A = this chain, B = another copy of it.
Amino acid sequence: MTVRAAVAGASGYAGGELLRLLLAHPEVEIGALTGNSNAGQRLGALQPHLLPLAGRVLQETTADVLAGHDVVFLALPHGQSAAVAEQLGPDVLVVDMGADFRLRNAADWERFYGSPHAGTWPYGLPELPGSRSALEGSKRVAVPGCYPTAVSLALFPAYTAGLAEAEAVIVAASGTSGAGKTPKPHLLGSEVMGSMSPYGVGGGHRHTPEMIQNLSAAAGEPVSVSFTPTLAPMPRGILATCSAKARPGVTAESVRAAYEKAFADEPFVHLLPEGQWPATASVHGSNAVHVQVAYDEAAGRVIAVSAIDNLTKGTAGGAVQSMNIALGLDETTGLSTIGVAP
């Protein structure tokens, strides 16, 4: 099978990472590349690490340019995907790396994004129970947010196994690429190197309702989420420290068993041996998720920690993984579980 793929938004970090992965994908041929404010520029000037594509020139994001592909990846600012997707027709696989189609609840969307809800597409986190079947053969995929990917994979086994109370507390550290490539003062190297700082504290981060959606589905009841994201002095990676009060009767063994079972057949999620904890460097550039879990008896909490690369499994790798499923390819095609470390 040769899959012809277009990328709308090829000049940003998500688009660049997607191209890095597609270049290594044996079934994909890279077609049109677009980028509005950068249309007309050589990709080599914008993404110098993508040497094989250095001579390609970005085009405008129009229906004509995107026509004639088997797959179109959208890496656009939120609110723009619906209009583009409509023009592409129902037979093209559209993989939206933005937020537009992730939430099921229109009110959540409107509260956090302040615009009308565009709809809900099959959710591209195959490891969540029930997700794979919705992705198989689908022509539309909503790629999860980076934080919800890390958090949902760390915590869902505790909820599906009934180990945890429905109040999750999450503190996550993210590399700066998660904040995108648009220059802003607080994202300057001078500001972020040597500094850790939180943002969107107190429930304000737009990824919160997506976490609630995923964890509530796993628990079978509404789960509240206290989520504090922090900006870490590194370009990539998310370390999510997630905990919830243990239900009565929980033991270290029952926690371990639940996580072993949940990830036993997962190609990308790796439960580390007991005593070894995840480090984001180990998944740098990889689609792997490293997870560890502990039961803190004194505090009465289950604590799960996951490490992902926010741009790979957290965005572009997740997109390719879901594309593979949607197209009937082997889910792991073109994706690696090997990190670039140190």
A interface with B by C-beta (< 8 Å): 13, 16, 20, 23-24, 42, 44-45, 47-52, 54, 167, 169, 171, 173, 175-177, 179, 181, 183-185, 187-199, 201-203, 224-228, 230, 232-237, 239, 241, 243, 245, 270, 272-273, 276-286, 288, 290, 292, 294-301, 303, 305, 307, 336-342
Contact in complex: A225, B24 (CB < 8 Å): no
A194 and B235: CB pair below 8 A?
yes
Q: How far is the CA of A23 from the CA of B339 in the complex (A)?
A: 11
Asked whether, in the complex, the Cβ of B203 is within 8 Å of the Cβ of A297, the reply is yes
Q: Quick one: given A340-B20, A340-B340, are A283 and B187 in contact (CB under 8 Å)?
A: no
Q: Tell me which of B189, B203, B224, B337 contacts A51 (CB under 8 A).
A: B337
Contacts of A48 in B (CB 8 A): 272, 276, 279, 282, 290, 339, 341
A-B pairs, top 8 by smallest CB distance, nearest first, are: A49-B339, A195-B281, A183-B183, A202-B294, A189-B192, A197-B279, A171-B171, A226-B299
Copies in the complex: 4
Interchain residue pairs with CB less than 8 A apart (5): A48-B339, A167-B300, A194-B237, A203-B299, A235-B342
Nearest residue in B to A300 (C-beta to C-beta)?
A: B224
Contact partner, A201, options B191, B199, B292, Cβ 8 Å: B292
Q: Is the CB of B198 within 8 A of A305?
A: yes
Contacts of A339 on B, CB cut-off 8 Å? Answer: 48-51
B295 and A49 contacting across the interface, CB-CB below 8 Å? no
Decide if A184 touches B181 in the complex (CB within 8 Å). no
Neighbouring B residues of A13 by C-beta, 8 Å: 190, 342
Partner of A336, one of B24, B177, B181, B296: B24
Q: Is the CB of A24 within 8 A of B338?
A: yes
A183 in contact with B184 (CB, 8 Å): yes
Contacts of A185 in B (CB 8 A): 181, 183
Residues of B within 8 A of A296 (CB): 201-203, 226
| Complex CA distance for A224 and B38, rounded to whole angstroms | 40
Chain B residues with Cβ under 8 A from A235's Cβ?
189-191, 193-194, 341-342
Contact A199 B277, beta carbon cutoff 8 Å: yes
Closest to A277 in B: B198
CB-based contact A243/B226 at 8 Å: yes
Q: Which residue in chain B gives the minimum CB-CB distance to A16?
A: B341
A44-B273, A241-B230 given; A285·B199 CB < 8 A: no
In the assembled complex, the Cα of A341 lies from the Cα of B190 at a distance in Å of: 9
* Contact present for A189 and B197 (CB under 8 Å): no
**Distance between Cα atoms of A237 and B305 in the complex (Å):** 22
Residues on the B chain within 8 Å of A270, using CB: 51, 54
Check if A198 sits within 8 Å of B239, measured CB to CB.
yes
Contacts of A295 in B (CB 8 A): 202
Q: Which residue of B lies closest to A279 (CB)?
A: B197
Q: Other CB < 8 Å A-B pairs besides A54-B270, A175-B190, A233-B233, 19 of them?
A: A24-B338, A48-B290, A49-B281, A51-B286, A167-B245, A167-B300, A171-B228, A183-B183, A183-B185, A187-B189, A189-B193, A189-B233, A191-B281, A198-B241, A202-B295, A203-B296, A203-B299, A285-B340, A340-B340
